[in-house]
Amino acid sequence: MKGTRLLLKLLILLTDIGMVGLAVVAAHRLQRYLRPDSVDRLLAYLPLTLILAATTVLILFLTKGYHRRPPQSLIDSLSTWAGPVTMATLITLTAVAFFVQDRTVTAVHYPRRFVVLVWLFAVGLVGLGRYLLARLLFFLQSRHVGRDRVLVVGTGEVGRMLVQKLQSGGGVAHEVVGFVDTNTENPTPVGVPLLGHPADLPEIIEKHAVDEVVIGLPEGSHRQIVQIISLCEREKVSIKVFPDVFQIMASEVSVSDLGGLPLLTVRDVALRGWRLSLKRMFDLVFGGLALIFLSPLMLFIALLIKLESPGPVFYIQERMGLDARPFPMLKFRSMRADAEKDGPGWTTPHDTRKTRLGAILRRISFDELPQLINVIRGDMSLVGPRPERPVYVEQFRQYIPRYMDRHREKAGITGWAQVNGLRGDTSIVERTKYDLWYIENWSLWLDFKICLRTLFKLFGDRNAY
């Protein structure tokens, strides 16, 4: 497997170099077509091509662009090459200008439009090359070539959850060879064998050609985890550890002092001060534009709702928002007007209370469009934890640690949990983890990325009901 990884890295590197060269050729041809007299012969741009290719590879290497990464969407992987290629283009232009000034290279004319075209083609073609290689790797892994062989340490609830994630989300890229555990009373999932105990790790890793060990013992002591890691390190495999509750809480630890005594800050909120104003501006600009452009569609949906079944167009429901304050959340009515005559109930995939139009609206999430009004009003944000009803909040806060911390920010139309597949009737515990991560790691780019991923998932999310 190590030979396969090395070959893959070499293939990516050669593809990056080839795509940079192709970008210069494409920019030259397009510029010559637009203005035939504005550029020199293609061969004159060879120094530019060589410097740009070398600089791109160097910056990608320094920014870990050639490190093995888990499968990512196109948006998530964009930063791995777009930023380095942009930086490489700027450095290359500086280097070329310096050489031209010193007359160590024959002076070549670089029109501004040509430079912009080189940059655009380089970003697009490098991304295209990496995407095609990713599809090739996916094709090979689906035929059991180049998969990572994973060994899971722990057969409890966490261990079974890790196997489920590896076999679902990463099922093509990973092959779970088995379990190792300290407690033989814990049942293992069907089809995944129990291979031994932690003391047997070196022999198991060598016998089953394990590439990665995932330790799922959040209840284990630090000494036990360190011993397991030391046994794995002898075989030089990749090691990952599922964190305990404190490690999750302390993912962003900062050190302060109190009268000279050191204190660790384990809970912090990224949205403070001017960032709140920036996020509000983001909501007003993009929420307002969306409301303007979607208003004809919303009027058409409202008309269809009135024609299909008696009752109001909007369904107004009390939800809990910022600081656990209730607010009236707007939705297009997707159920019968008497759907909650017997009290509130959790929505299920085949809920008989839904109307035919309502089922379609829920399937494509168009029932949420009126919440753009909530965004403009300031009740909600475009991105944030999805709000729940007070009756459910009271239940969840009793048994989910830090559940109420979700209310330190405004509720959102979409969120980090939703774009990661946690919609509808899914685990509230898992959703809470994703929501807390979002709150403590907020950035404007993260909001923008979540909005884009929401659009891409809009017509393909099977959990939307």
Encode burial over 134-143: b for 16+ CB neighbours within 10 A, e otherwise: beebeeebee
Residue 341's contacts (CB-CB under 8 Å, 6 or more residues apart) are none
- Residue 386, pLDDT score: 92
Residue 163's contacts (CB-CB under 8 Å, 6 or more residues apart) are 152, 176, 179, 189, 192
Whole-angstrom Cα distance, residue 243 to residue 227? 16
Domain borders along the chain are 2-141, 148-242, 274-457
pLDDT single digits (tens) 44-93? 788 888 989 999 999 988 887 877 665 566 666 777 788 888 888 888 87
Contact in structure between 355 and 465 (CB atoms under 8 Å): no
Tell me the pLDDT band of 290, cut-offs 50, 70 and 90. very high
Whole-angstrom Cα distance, residue 15 to residue 223? 45
CATH 3.40.50.970 fits domain 148-242? no
Three-state DSSP at 236 gives coil
pLDDT single digits (tens) 339-396? 666 666 556 556 667 788 888 888 888 889 999 999 999 999 999 999 999 888 888 8
Angle at 264 between CA 258 and CA 266, to 5 degrees: 135
Whole-angstrom Cα distance, residue 338 to residue 247? 46
pLDDT single digits (tens) 75-86? 667 777 888 888
pLDDT single digits (tens) 445-458? 889 889 988 887 77
Whole-angstrom Cα distance, residue 449 to residue 451? 5
